[in-house]
Amino acid sequence: MLVHVPALLSGEQLKFFRARLDADDAPWTDGRVTAGHQGMHVKQNQQIAEGSALALELGDRVLAALERHPLFISATLPNRVYPPMFNRYQGGMHFGSHVDGSVRLVPGSGAKFRTDVSATLFLAPPESYDGGELLIEDTYGAQSVKLAAGDMVVYPASSLHRVTPVTRGARLACFFWVQSMVRDDARRALLFDLDNAIQRLTATSADESARVHLTGCYHNLLRMWAET
């Protein structure tokens, strides 16, 4: 299930992020330092050093925005969110086809983190760079994603995906993973559709008893499938 989450960050927030990421002292490093065995051979980008003061500062702001966005919560049913990271593509940089690693170690804790959902938050306007499309393979073929600054896409971490070469300008983004309460994508999609249907019925003041019944079905399914 691929979901577009609009306007996670406001214009003012984006200005703050860009000023911090474009600063001369921003700790950009070779992105391959966080790549697994598969990714290190196809990954060409830069990343803000994981665990740096800047990564933690901006990551906390992203986490705060996620907590306030109902669409993100409905689509991912988050149990835990991996500390957000930040990358940059320019001068032909790209990331070849790969599948995200299934388990990561949370920096500084040694705790294992299961990656159920991948997320990319776009930080640069799409007209400011050429290329840099996120291509995600799903049951309907390859989906090309290049969103407005401040918008985010979430999709199954099991998906084959890549970032096309950036031939002009710079593509800036935040990326992270979600360990969902419901690890199976098909079940998450069913709950997401049911939640959306309940919200539409509520907005139209449809039959109250039917809405209560459907809400009960939603929570009983979540109770059946959730892992906490």
151 and 202, same structural domain?
Answer: no
112 and 55, same structural domain?
Answer: yes
**Phi, psi (rounded to 5 degrees) for 90:** -160, 165
Burial class (CB in 10 A: 0-12, 13-18, 19+), 77: buried
For residue 109, what pLDDT is reported?
Answer: 85
For residue 27, what pLDDT is reported?
Answer: 97
Helix (H, G, I), strand (E, B) or coil at 144: strand
Average pLDDT along the chain: 95
**Phi, psi (rounded to 5 degrees) for 160:** -75, 130
203 and 103, same structural domain?
Answer: no
| Contact status, residue 83 vs residue 107, Cβ threshold 8 Å | yes
Tell me the mean pLDDT in the region 183-192: 97
Residue 190 belongs to domain with CATH number:
4.10.860.20
**For the chain, what is the domain count?**
2
* DSSP class of 228: -
How far from 163 is each of 48, 52, 64, 66, 142, CA to CA, in Å?
Answer: 18, 25, 27, 24, 12
pTM of structure:
0.94
Residue 40 predicted with pLDDT over 80:
no
Residues of the domain holding 65: 3-180
Residue 12 predicted with pLDDT over 80:
yes
How far from 127 is each of 93, 133, 153, CA to CA, in Å?
Answer: 17, 12, 18
For residue 194, what pLDDT is reported?
Answer: 97
For residue 37, what pLDDT is reported?
Answer: 59
Residue 134 predicted with pLDDT over 90:
yes
115 and 157, same structural domain?
Answer: yes
For residue 39, what pLDDT is reported?
Answer: 59
Residue 155 belongs to domain with CATH number:
2.60.120.620
Query: How far apart (Å, rounded) are the C-alpha atoms in residues 6 and 56?
Result: 23
